[in-house]
Copies of this chain bind each other. A is one copy, B any other.
Amino acid sequence: MFKGKTTHKEFPELIENGKILGCQEETTTGVKRFKAMDKKGVLKVPLFPVNDARCKNQFDNELGTGQGIVSAIYGMHVLFAGKNVVIAGFGHCSSGMALRARGLGANVTVTEVDPIKALQAKFAGYNVMPILKAIPDADIILTATGCNHIIPAEAEVFDKLKDNVILGNLGHFDIEIPTKELYEYAKEIKPIRTNVEELIFPNGKKVYLLAKGRLANLVLSEGHPSEIMDMSFGLQSLMSEYIVKNSKNLKPGMIDVPTDIDDKVGILKLKAMDVKIDKLTEEQYNYIHGYLEGT
Report how far A191 CA is from B37 CA in the complex, Å: 49
Residues in B whose Cβ lies below 8 Å from that of A129: 275-277
Complex alpha-carbon distance, A218 and B73, angstroms: 15
Q: Is the CB of B100 within 8 A of A273?
A: no
Tell me if A17 counts as interface (CB < 8 A to partner B).
Answer: no
Binds B, one of A44-52, A105-113, A198-206, A242-250: A105-113
Kindly list chain B residues whose C-beta atoms are within 8 Å of the C-beta of A156. Answer: none
Q: Which residue of B lies closest to A284 (CB)?
A: B147
Quick one: which of A93-133 are within 8 Å of B by CB? 99-100, 102-108, 111-116, 118-120, 122-131, 133
Instruction: Indicate if the CB atoms of B70 and A123 lie closer than 8 Å.
Output: no
A34 at the interface (CB under 8 A from B): yes
A280–B99 Cα distance when bound, in Å, is 24
Tell me which residues from 46 to 86 in chain A have a Cβ below 8 Å from any Cβ of chain B.
Answer: 54-55, 58-59, 63-64, 66-67, 70, 73-74, 77-82
Q: Is the CB of A37 within 8 A of B291?
A: yes
| Smallest CB gap from A62: residue in B | B123
| A82 contacts B276, C-beta separation under 8 Å | no
B67, A81: Cβ atoms under 8 Å?
A: yes
Asked whether A148 lies within 8 Å of B58 as measured between CB atoms, the reply is no
A240 within 8 A of B: no
The interface of chain A, by Cβ under 8 A from chain B, is 3, 5-6, 29, 32-34, 36-37, 40, 54-55, 58-59, 63-64, 66-67, 70, 73-74, 77-82, 99-100, 102-108, 111-116, 118-120, 122-131, 133, 146-149, 152, 172-173, 221-222, 224-228, 262-263, 266-267, 269-270, 273, 275-281, 283-284, 287-291, 294-295
